[in-house]
Amino acid sequence: MIAGFKSFILRGNVIDLAVAVVIGAAFSAVVAALVEGLLNPLVAAIFGAKDLSGVATFTLNGAEFSIGLVLDAILTFLLVAAAIYFVIITPVNALAARRKQGAEPEPAAPAEDILLLQEIRDLLASRREP
């Protein structure tokens, strides 16, 4: 049982996942600093509120609705997605394309009708030979 656990822990995808969680936590701090340092002051300058959660709030039958809170979550998601795309995905795709340039493409497999004709040819050739 211990050996199975050791092989599970040392498997590459578990280590990759652990690294991803640590990088994600660090990246979350970067996004939080970006929101607190740049976006919230920009929102305060435009809307007069300290952040988007206070923008477009209204009360209806004692329930408080906050459109700004939803906008804040959407904006944070878009910032994280854009940063991941431009900082991680784009460079990795460029690296993969650069690695692929030196590789020779595999020849395309013949079409099914060509394979059938080749099989017929081989059968006819084997009948002719005594």
**Integer distance in angstroms from the first to the last C-alpha of the chain?**
63
Give the predicted TM-score (pTM) of the model: 0.49
CA–CA separation, 7 vs 2, rounded Å?
9
Do residues 50 and 72 make contact, with C-beta atoms less than 8 angstroms apart?
no
The one-character DSSP state at 53 is: G
Tens-digit pLDDT string for the chain (130 aa): 788 777 766 666 766 777 778 887 887 787 778 777 877 787 778 777 677 777 778 888 888 888 888 887 887 788 777 777 887 788 888 888 887 787 667 778 888 888 888 999 999 888 876 6
CA–CA separation, 89 vs 79, rounded Å?
14
